[in-house]
Structure 1
Amino acid sequence: MDDELDGKQGVQSLEIGMSILKAMVAGHRSMMLKDIAAAAGMSPPKVHRYLVSLIRAGLVEQDPLTSRYDIGQFALRIGLVAIDRLDRIRLGVAAISDLRDQLNQTVALAVWADRGPVIVRWERPRRPITVNVVTGVHLHLLNSAGGRVFGAFMPKAKIDPLLADELKTLTLPDAIRTRARAEAMLDEVRRTGIATISEGYFAEGVEAAAAPVFNFKGEISMALVVVGVQGTLDMGLDGPLIADLRHAATDLSARLGYAGGTAAVSPSGQ
């Protein structure tokens, strides 16, 4: 009775059942009993007993032809309800606030709009000299860190017309002035999962770094952007600022249901 009243106590059998479900989710496919047992670190007979109860609850189903187990209809309904109730902007605003506190730098949140990426929120650091970001400003793909992240990970059908227009109309540094050089830069963003820009930023005297945030479908949903006075940010990919930025983006992606663990290295929709 005391255990039931004590909020710190849990139901061990339920926790074991959930660990079996987690192993099945991590498998990304229907699984045989022995594979589930190996992934969960339990014996097959023990896992089988739990699977019987999970099937009765609708959380697991078994294919009678192959004997493989998979996620059940009720588990899928739970996931759909969770996604429907998810407020990505609210989570993004909390993430940039935490990152601002961690780095003491200006941090912004960008999302994709009709005409490309747009800043929807930013957080000011606690330092005497800061870079202000205008909420609602649209970002070009080639001369902003947030734009480069979207340019790297959005479907090519959406990106190609914008890239062609920017190459014609923007004053760009030699390193990205041609289509081939611009594509090479975006390939590097895809490879590293990070976009940095100092020379050629659309605002003079400013530099920035950005990381993509992915949703449960593996599609880019947002970008976290760190902005500072040119020459003040540690832009090294192995440096602490990029590590903190990458970690924040990875955590936020996980909260949005992305199962990749780290930033994806290939664009979606190609």
Structure 2
Amino acid sequence: MKKERRGIQSVEVGGKLLTVLVDEGTPMLLRDLAQKAGMTSAKAHPYLVSFGNLGLIQQDPQSGRYELGHFALQMGLISLQRVDPVKIAIPEASLLCDRIGHTVALAVLGSSGPTIVHMNESRHAIHVRMRTGTVVSIANTATGRVFSAFLPPKQVEKLTAREVTDDTIVAGQTDKKISKKEHEALLADVRQHGMARAVGEPIAGINAISAPIFDHAGNIVLAMTIIGPMGTLDPDWNGETAVELRKSAARVSEQLGYTA
């Protein structure tokens, strides 16, 4: 059995006040803060005085409301700087792979484009030449479209220059370029549904659904993508696979400090 470690009860009791301030996200009056923390105002006040001395909370002299202080802010910033998005996402990707039975890949935006940095391969083999280090198309894959939809427009324009053209695409054309109009329509679809999909493309017989993962500042830092055969991977926006992917990506974003 795991040995229970001894703690300081008063610290844990006072910590409830800090938890409430974090959960509420707005300055609070003493009575409301104490009530939310499950204690009386008289009991809460000494804790708040001590937290104020440490810089963990501060009180507005005009309104009397309490909020997190400068030291709490410094702690949060240091914590965010130490966060590794890939490290946090890997366990979630593994669990997702086990639940849905399909391959799950994580990608970051590298210097050459969206780059696979981790893969959880399913028990069902798929004929896809993709492994860690593979750079995928930014315009013609679900992973690439997620980055295109949520990156700054100027950055997207530069990244997609080789794959998106202003010219009309001729039917049967062998290269993988798409028109600017088509690309913009695809990205609008991605933003509407909060994820991207590729049905039977760019690899015939393979479907993919990809969701963005955001950091505390709302920047896309990862794409989590499910890949599987057309016959077994349902690409429906509201299907079970898409729902599970949305939940997994949202959990990772939340751990990175993102608030929708």
> TM-score by structure 1 length?
0.79
For the Cα contact (< 8 Å) 1:131–1:227, is it kept in 2? no
Q: CA deviation at 1:197?
A: 1.1
User: How many Å apart are 1:44 and its aligned residue?
Assistant: 4.7
List aligned pairs for 1:1-270, cutoff 5 A.
7=4, 13-34=10-31, 36-37=33-34, 40=37, 44-129=41-126, 131-168=128-165, 177-199=178-200, 201-260=201-260
The offset of 1:157, in angstroms, is 1.8
CA displacement, residues 96-150 of structure 1 (integer Å, 9 cap, x when unaligned)? 2222222221111100112321111212111255645222222223211111111
RMSD: 3.0
What is the distance in 2 between the residues matched to 1:62 and 1:34? 14
Distance 2:249 2:180 in 1: 28
Q: For the residues of structure 2 that align with 1:19 and 1:197, how far apart are their CA atoms?
A: 46
SS in 2 for 1:102: helix
Contact 2:166 2:180 in 1 (8 A): no
SS in structure 1 at match of 2:228: strand
CA contact (8 A) 2:211 2:245 kept: yes
Q: Work out whether residues 143 and 223 of structure 2, in 8 Å CA contact, stay in contact via their aligned partners in 1.
A: yes
Residue pair 1:131, 1:228 contacting (<8 A) in 2 also: no
Amino acid in structure 1 at the alignment position of 2:48: L
Question: What SS does the corresponding residue of 1:190 show, helix, strand or coil?
Answer: helix
Report the Cα offset of residue 30 of structure 1.
Answer: 3.5
Note if contact 1:108-1:123 (Cα within 8 Å) is conserved in structure 2: yes
Quick check: 2:163–2:178 contact (8 Å CA) kept in 1? no
Which residue of structure 2 aligns with residue 265 of structure 1?
none
Which amino acid in 1 is paired with 2:197? T
Q: Give secondary structure in 2 for the equivalent of 1:225.
A: strand
Which stretch of structure 1 is more off in the superposition, 217-226 or 90-99?
90-99
> 8 Å contact 1:108–1:226 — kept in the other structure?
yes
Q: Indicate how the Cα distance of structure 1 residues 184 and 84 shifts in structure 2: closer, same or farther if over 3 A, else same.
A: same
Deviation at 1:91, TM superposition (A): 1.9
Task: Give yes or no for contact 1:105–1:130 (8 Å, CA) kept in 2.
Answer: no
The letter for the 1-side match of 2:140 is: N
Secondary structure of the structure 1 residue equivalent to 2:52: helix
- Measure how far apart 1:198 and its partner are: 0.6
Give the stretch that moved more between structures: 98-107 or 82-91.
82-91
Secondary structure, aligned partner of 2:164: helix
Task: Name the CA shift for 1:103/1:132 in 2 (closer, same or farther; >3 Å).
Answer: farther
Cα displacement string for residues 57-94 of structure 1 (whole angstroms, at most 9, x for unaligned residues): 32111233443322122222322332233222222222
The letter of the residue matching 2:150 is: F
Maintained 8 Å contact 1:213/1:220: yes
| Identical amino acids, percent of aligned pairs | 37
Closer, same or farther: CA 173–143 of 1 in aligned 2, 3 Å: farther
User: Hey, what's the Cα distance between the residues in 1 that align with 2:27 and 2:199?
Assistant: 47
Check the 8 A contact 1:207/1:228 in 2, yes or no.
yes
Name the CA distance, whole Å, in 1 between partners of 2:211 and 2:199: 15
Alpha-carbon contact 2:166-2:179 (below 8 Å) kept:
no
Amino acid at match of 1:244: E
How far does residue 227 in structure 1 lie from its aligned partner after superposition? 0.7
Q: TM-score when scaled to structure 2? A: 0.82
SS in 2 for 1:74: helix
Kept in 1: contact 2:126–2:228 (CA 8 A): no
Corresponding letter in the other structure for 2:106: L
* Corresponding pairs, count: 253
- Distance verdict in 2 for CA 1:15–1:183, change over 3 Å: farther
